[in-house]
Amino acid sequence: MRILTLACSLAALIAASPLSAQTLNVASAGDQNMVDYVKDYLGPMFEKAHPGVKVVSVGTGPGDSGSQKIMEKLDAQKSAAAADFDVVVIHQKAAGQMVKDGLLAKYTDKVDTAKLVSSATAKNSLGADVSGYVMPMFQSQTALAYNADMLKNPPANFTELKEWVKKNPKQFGYNGIKGGMSGVAFVAGWVYAFGGDADKLIQGPYDAAEKAKWDKAFAELKDFNQNVVITPGNAGTLDMLNRGEIAMGPVWVDMFYSWQADGKLPPNMKLKLAAPGMPGQPMYYAVPEKSAQKKLAEEFIALATSPQVQADGIVKKFNWYPGIDAKNLEGKLDKAAWDKLFTDITPADLSKNAKPFPIAPYFNDILEGYEKKVAN
């Protein structure tokens, strides 16, 4: 009996030991590269700093549907003792609803790196208040790519762009609102420039009467489209730039640099974030309310959003803009990496002209308005 008691006590001691095996389950809504980023890069780094912890990385699929699967799983486990996931990587659209439904824990006050984030998207997710519940993993951003051999002084704003297209017909291309979000972002930027109060569209509250102010902007965009090339999608715009069929068009910055690194875009291609700006979007780190490992989850997110990891992982590995403010990466990146991401579009440009997408109801109104008043 004494031996049995001793064995049980020893087992309990081992179970309570910080060296005992613990699992941190990280679920990512996104492409496979995001799952692999946790599995092959962040996970091993965290495990090394936390002996006895195993990071398990799972994916739920790309796009908003991947975030929807995470939301449905957490919702189904609301009455369970613990959720299957301890850290989730989710899109903007899902984040607001998950906060509203009580599926996420408020945690950023326990993470020191939260003070390195000033982006409005850390507090406002398409009109939903997510302050305290999310940290940006990265910021993806759209901008205008252009052939620097053909444009020595690219348009600085949308008004100059409109005039340039008149003088250079069929040299600008975008995908409308089909085949990828770079075209949607351009249309949103157009409405920000010519449709009235951009801040109201970004921050809300929603006023259905606001869309009546966009009629002139949509009429001018319809005229603008007579002189542009409608491309097949995100990749189609880049492909036409590469072949010299167009001289300028909206792109995702990370795609642009990846294509350039792979030799699919010539080095004379540059980027411009024209005023008053174009939208981008973050992916968020969040902690489920029912996470069984909240302290470990917070420590994992603190590591993931630290300046060095953001520099090495987010910027150098994936060509994304950091989730924390870019100024915090100075000195953390070699000159080549810094120059690649921040020469064409500086941290100051990002601070001034990198916009969130409009809140959901305005976003839907813009898409509907484009279909009815521009595409037809």
H or E stretch at 77? none
Do 91 and 185 share a domain, yes or no? no
Residue 293 included in any domain:
yes
Q: What is the pLDDT of residue 196?
A: 87
Both 258 and 309 in a single domain? no
Please say if the pLDDT value at position 344 is more than 60: yes
Question: CA gyration radius for the chain?
Answer: 23
Which pLDDT does position 4 carry in this prediction? 44
Asked if the structure places residue 151 within a domain, the reply is: yes
In the predicted model, what is the mean pLDDT of residues 231-237? Answer: 93
Q: Is residue 305 part of a domain?
A: yes
In a domain, 264, yes or no: yes
Q: What is the mean pLDDT of residues 111-132?
A: 92
Prediction pTM value: 0.78
104 and 41, same domain (yes or no): yes
208 and 106 co-located in one domain? no
The confidence score (pLDDT) of residue 317 equals 86
Judge whether residue 20 has pLDDT over 90. Answer: no
pLDDT band at 93 (very low <50, low <70, confident <90, very high): confident
Residue among 180, 286, 171, 276 at smallest CA distance from 229: 171
Asked if 361 and 318 sit in the same domain, the reply is no
**Residue pair 326/347 in contact by the 8 Å Cβ criterion:** yes
| Residue 8 in this model has a pLDDT that exceeds 70 | no
pLDDT at residue 17 is higher than 60: no
Q: Assess whether the previous peptide bond of 44 is cis (omega < 30° from 0).
A: no
On whether both 370 and 232 belong to a single domain, the answer is yes
Q: Quick check: 87 pLDDT over 90? A: yes
What percent of the chain has a predicted confidence (pLDDT) above 90?
Answer: 76
Q: Which pLDDT score, from 0 to 100, does residue 9 have?
A: 42
Question: For residue 16, is pLDDT > 60?
Answer: no
The backbone region for 43, taken as left when phi is positive above 0, alpha when psi lies in -120 to 50, beta otherwise, is: alpha
Q: Name every residue whose Cβ is closer than 8 Å to that of residue 109 and which is 6 or more positions away in sequence.
A: 132
Domain identity same for 272 and 156: yes
Its domain, for residue 264, covers 140-280+354-375
Residues 266, 298 within the same domain:
no
Give me the pLDDT at residue 287, please: 98
Distance separating the N- and C-terminal Cα atoms of the chain: 85
Give how many domains the chain has, as a whole number: 2
Looking at the fold, whether 48 and 19 belong to one and the same domain comes out as yes
Confidence of residue 274 (pLDDT cuts 50, 70, 90): very high
Give domain status of residue 273, yes or no. yes
How far apart CA 369 and CA 135 sit, in angstroms, is 33
The two three-digit tokens of residue 8, written as one number: 């049980």
> Which residue's entry shows tokens 């010539």?
266
Residue ranges with strand state E in the chain: 22-28, 53-59, 87-90, 124-125, 128-129, 135-147, 173-174, 229-230, 248-252, 269-272, 278-286, 321-322, 354-355
Q: What is the mean pLDDT of residues 245-257?
A: 95
Q: Do residues 288 and 86 lie in contact, with contact meaning Cβ atoms separated by under 8 Å?
A: yes
- Whether 87 and 25 have beta carbons less than 8 Å apart is answered as yes
- Angle 295-58-283 from CA coordinates, rounded to 5°: 70
The percent of residues above 70 in pLDDT, for the chain, comes to 95
Would you say residue 123 lies in a domain? Answer: yes
Residues 182 and 162 in one domain: yes
Q: 9-18, 103-112, 327-336: lowest mean pLDDT where? A: 9-18
DSSP reduced 3-state for 46: helix
The predicted-structure confidence for 151-168, as pLDDT tens digits, reads as follows 999 999 999 999 999 999
| Separation of alpha carbons 179 and 136, rounded Å | 25
On whether the CB atoms of residues 347 and 327 are closer than 8 A, the answer is yes
Residue 348, in any domain of the structure: no
d(CA 45, CA 42): 5
Length of the chain in terms of residues written:
376
Predicted confidence (pLDDT) at residue 275 exceeds the cutoff of 80: yes
The mean of the pLDDT values for the chain is 91
Q: What is the tens place of the pLDDT at every residue in 170-229?
A: 999 999 998 788 999 999 999 999 998 999 999 889 999 999 999 999 999 999 999 999
CATH of the domain at 51: 3.40.190.10
Mean pLDDT of the 323-328 span: 91
Tokens of 75: 């919702």
pLDDT-derived band at 290 (thresholds 50, 70, 90) equals very high
Q: Do residues 161 and 215 both lie within one domain?
A: yes
Do 75 and 26 fall within a single domain? yes
Domain assignment present for 349: no
CB 277 within 8 A of CB 142: no
How far CA 306 is from CA of 87, 321, 322, in Å, comes to 16, 14, 10
pLDDT at 1: 46
